Amino acid sequence: MIHSERVRALMAERGLSQSALARAVGVTQGAIAKIVSSNPGGSSHLHKIARELGTSVAYLTGETDDRSEGALPLPTPVLIAEQLDLVEIRSIDFAYGMGGTFGEDHIEEEVLHFPRKWIQAITSSPAPSLTFARGRGDSMAPTMNEGDVILIDRAQRTVLEQDAIWALTLGPIAMVKRLRIRGEQVTILSDNDRVAPDRVHADEVNIVGRVVFVGRRL
């Protein structure tokens, strides 16, 4: 028989609501509500509940008073990534829409994981050299639209191919544009024909990396 008070106490310690625990375990909130009520009987999901609460089935059923005895730790993101052969890639807020964003502003970073083979099909550069970003605005439409996700290969920082798409900074402004270089002059091009090109000296442009992938939600 499950000791409901132990379940309730552990949920409180971890700040878990009934709905949050239900989502983690993969059951309905009603199933959790039954377990935390008095005299709930048993549950076929008790081992999953014990894992989410950082304890063991034996503790929840009163067979032991040591809640750490036999407890199964939750798998960490690192362990999951190793088992599924996922690579870690950082995602940043790097707007390429309305001309650019201020590169000196604080940039929020998020770590995402992707299948290694999928990344290798896109680029041969190592994962630490790659960055995902999501754009805003329509200055690169129709190639890139509002909310599209791009993969920036920071291992490629030398413009060898004209009119390729690059992430760059121009002073404090960060942007994603096509570049055309003629001697010391760089033409910054938007794919939206309503946005006029800019022409600057090559010394003003700092290349962050080349855009090697564009993905969008259908």
**Which amino acid does the sequence have at 23?**
R
- 52 and 84 together in one domain: no
- 54 and 13 together in one domain: yes
- 94 and 50 together in one domain: no
CATH assignment at residue 52: 1.10.260.40
Instruction: Please determine, for residue 100, whether its predicted confidence score (pLDDT) is greater than 60.
Output: no
**Alpha carbons 48 and 74: distance in angstroms, whole number:** 10
Range of the domain at 53: 4-60
pLDDT score of 135: 74
Q: Per the domain annotation, does 73 fall within a domain? A: no
Q: Per the domain annotation, does 103 fall within a domain? A: yes
Q: How confident is the model at residue 84 (pLDDT cuts 50, 70, 90)?
A: confident
Q: How confident is the model at residue 106 (pLDDT cuts 50, 70, 90)?
A: very low
- 105 and 174 together in one domain: yes
Question: What does the pLDDT look like over 2-51, one tens digit per residue?
Answer: 889 999 999 999 889 999 999 989 899 988 998 888 666 667 788 889 98
Q: How many domains does the chain have?
A: 2
**Which amino acid does the sequence have at 107?**
I
Residue range 107-116: mean pLDDT, rounded: 78
Q: Per the domain annotation, does 52 fall within a domain? A: yes
Q: What is the DSSP string of 191-203?
A: SSTTSPPEEEEGG
Q: Per the domain annotation, does 37 fall within a domain? A: yes
- 116 and 37 together in one domain: no
Q: Per the domain annotation, does 46 fall within a domain? A: yes
At residue 148's C-alpha, the angle toward residues 193 and 111, to 5°, is 140
Q: Per the domain annotation, does 71 fall within a domain? A: no
Q: Does the predicted TM-score (pTM) go above 0.75?
A: no
- 116 and 187 together in one domain: yes
- 85 and 162 together in one domain: yes
Average pLDDT of the chain is 85
Backbone angles phi, psi at 87, to 5 degrees: -110, 150
CATH assignment at residue 135: 2.10.109.10
Structure tokens at 34: 């039954």
pLDDT score of 119: 94
